[in-house]
Amino acid sequence: MPEPIVEIKNLSVYFYTYAGVVKAIEDVSFDIYRGETLALVGETGCGKSVTSRAITKLIESPGKIVNGQVIYHRDDGSTVDLLKLSDEGIREIRGNEIAYIFQDPHSSLDPLYTVGYQIGEAMEVHGKVRNIKEGIAKAVNILREVLIPDPENRVKNYPHELSGGMKQRVVIGIGVANNPRLLIADEPTTALDVTVQAQILELLNELKRKYNATVLLITHNLGVVAETAQRVVVMYAGKVVEIGTVDQIFHNPLHPYTTALLRAVPNPLGKIEKLESIPGTVPNLITPPKGCRFHPRCPFAEERCRKEVPKLKEIEPGHFVACHRY
Amino acid sequence: MAGLGKFLIRRGLTFIPTLIGVTLIVFIIAYVIPANPVRAWAGGEKASQAAIEMIKKEYHLDQPWYDQYWFLVKGLFTNSLLDPLNQEPVFNNIGNRFIVTFQLALFAFFFVILIGLPLGIISALKRNSATDMTLRIIALIFISTPIYVIAYLFIWLFFIHWNATTLAGIPPGPPHTITHIPVIDDILTLDWSNFVQQVERFWLPGFTLGIAAAGVLMRFTRNSFLEAYSRDSTLFLKAKGVPKSRLYRHVLKNALVPVITILALQFGGLLAGTPITETIFNLPGIGLYALQAIMYLDFPALIGVTFLYAIVFVTANLIADILYVIIDPRVRL
């Protein structure tokens, strides 16, 4: 039985905007197992990033975590609900035990400080080094680890002096600086050149092996999922629709949305006449569809789907789906 | 910081076209005005034809326009251009007056920064709260109240009621002069008694002059701070576990970059805004002199004042550029 490192239970995050309450994610539950790479997939705006940020309460006003628990299992066996921690309590965990890598390296780094300073700062604020000077000295080793050439000189560079791929390596360096137990990578390759994407994923996999860390990988690229993850959580319009191993999701997708998503990936080996797409549009989350949120776009929709919200059911060991067909 | 010398030289060279442009524009405006300055200089309607001819010759007014312009500019650089109203070189007339005005603008600038920056930051930190609302309304009042209303209100309050300022005369500068600006010399030579005298005379006019700009700076700082706060890099700092105080240090540094530009522009604006303040507070500054020059069609004086303002303006911008280089590594020399 795999042992969870984080259990997310009934998590709901709402954004209180002038247009109305945006129910960004609702009743999201899944576990992240120790040592695995879990992929969180779904279209843009389905709540992947919000879910990942809510794990350490990184939700800015007007957003609010309205419900749920995030149970974190420490290495020593103790557990804690992250959402109940004080500001200072959660700050000590962020970037230390649970670290993030954001999507766009061009905007995640502060343009006014050297990359060495920014890596060193990550260690300094968690007391891993005595002062920023020592932090910058240690940053050289981290830059070497994320395969940046000539780290002794690069450490003095400002973000604008580095390429996008290099910047993302720096961001990854900041992420792994404190040897985190869980690394949350929020679309780490989306903003990068295709040729650099593979290198960054390779680096992430290698660092994960080395530090024996757990990775939550957020992506909408199913190719990336197949290559790097062991398990997959599929989200649609703020809800989890299917959870399973990579094998289960790719070979035996149960939810009509997962099926449609997989069909939309072009096969590079065959000749493609027309790109597959899912009919309809992503629903407005201020007034989401009643019942199953996918029913307006679902070819199998029936009366029940319009009224009743489907619950996650375990169909085979480790394979969950939220659909009335099962 | 390598290459700062080169940068200064290059920026210094851009002064030349700027100054040529400024003087040329003022000259052209003066040139196309359908008034006859010579008659005014010679003493109005009763001026004799001989006097008029003499003045025309002296100021090259019978020559083509480029010769006139050259005559003016050469006169400025050699200080041989005479003010037609009192036959003194223009910069001799301007000299002491400019010191008064510059010191007034310095006091105003001090208040602009002292009020505008911290209140703007407080407003941003407490965004959308009652404090923020109050501060924003205060800023709006500062910006929109005419300076002569504020001036008389302050005189009534601080002079008549509390007797907290002096309104007559100009205290002499310290005996030892370095920069010729009394307050700066006081600070450099640690002459505190003279410093107090200067402050007593100048703080209220400076405060009055600076208050509108302080309101502008307040709102600008608030928005700049909030803009910097809403960036992804701020969220990433949070995700790194950076404590609040340190997070705000990052935000503040980022917010400061555009604020510097505004400050440089405001310093120039303060200089230009002095005539009303000088009139109300009875300060013999350059603003009043410039106004009189306009009334008497005294173009040599006018071009001298404009020239000086232009130099101050481009210098303020140069200082802003140097500050940019120090704060923002993306700005290369």
Taking only the tens place, the pLDDT of each residue in B59-71 is 887 888 888 888 8
Give the pLDDT score at B333. 57
Q: What is the DSSP string of B164-180?
A: -S--SS-PPPPSS-SSS
CA distances from A252 to A238, A256, A297, B139 (A): 23, 11, 20, 64
Q: Which of A58, A110, A158 sits opposite B239 (nearest CB)?
A: A58
Considering chain A, what is the average pLDDT of its residues?
A: 92
Whether A122 and chain B come into contact, CB under 8 Å, resolves to yes
Q: Is A110 within 8 Å of B237 when comparing Cβ atoms?
A: yes
Residue A277, SS3 per DSSP: coil
Q: Is B329 within 8 Å of A112 when comparing Cβ atoms?
A: yes
* Average pLDDT value for residue range A259-274: 82
pLDDT in tens, B197-249: 888 889 999 999 999 999 999 999 999 999 999 999 999 999 999 999 999 99
Whether A99 and chain B come into contact, CB under 8 Å, resolves to yes
Q: Measuring CA to CA, which residue among A25, A9, A307, A4 is closest to residue A182?
A: A4
Q: Which of B238, B241, B328 sits opposite A92 (nearest CB)?
A: B241
What is the H or E stretch that residue B117 is in?
helix B90-125
Give the pLDDT score at A101. 94
Give the pLDDT score at A218. 94
Q: Phi and psi dihedrals of A299, rounded to 5?
A: -70, -20
Give the pLDDT score at B63. 82
Q: Is A109 within 8 Å of B328 when comparing Cβ atoms?
A: no
- C-alpha angle with apex A41: A40 to A44, nearest 5 degrees? 120
A-chain residues near B253 (CB < 8 A): 112
Q: Is B241 within 8 Å of A102 when comparing Cβ atoms?
A: no
B-chain residues near A109 (CB < 8 A): 233, 236
Question: CB–CB of A25/A50 below 8 Å?
Answer: yes
Whether A171 and chain B come into contact, CB under 8 Å, resolves to yes
Band (pLDDT 50/70/90 cuts) for residue B34 is low
Return the number of CB contacts < 8 Å for A and B. 73
Residue B156 has which token pair? 């009534």
pLDDT in tens, A193-204: 888 888 888 999
Percent of chain B with pLDDT over 70: 98
Q: Is A91 within 8 Å of B231 when comparing Cβ atoms?
A: no
pTM of the model: 0.85
Residue A274 has which token pair? 């027309």
Q: Is B233 within 8 Å of A104 when comparing Cβ atoms?
A: no
What is the H or E stretch that residue B94 is in?
helix B90-125
Whether A60 and chain B come into contact, CB under 8 Å, resolves to yes
* Average pLDDT value for residue range A136-147: 93
- How many other CB atoms sit within 10 Å of the CB of residue B163? 8
Mutate to test the interface with B, among A112, A113, A218 (most CBs of B within 10 A): A112
Asked if residue A20 has pLDDT above 60, the reply is yes
Q: Is A100 within 8 Å of B330 when comparing Cβ atoms?
A: no
**Domains of chain B, earliest start first:** 3-77 (no CATH), 96-327 (1.10.3720.10)
C-alpha span between A170 and A156 (Å, rounded) = 12
Length of chain B: 333
Band (pLDDT 50/70/90 cuts) for residue B264 is confident
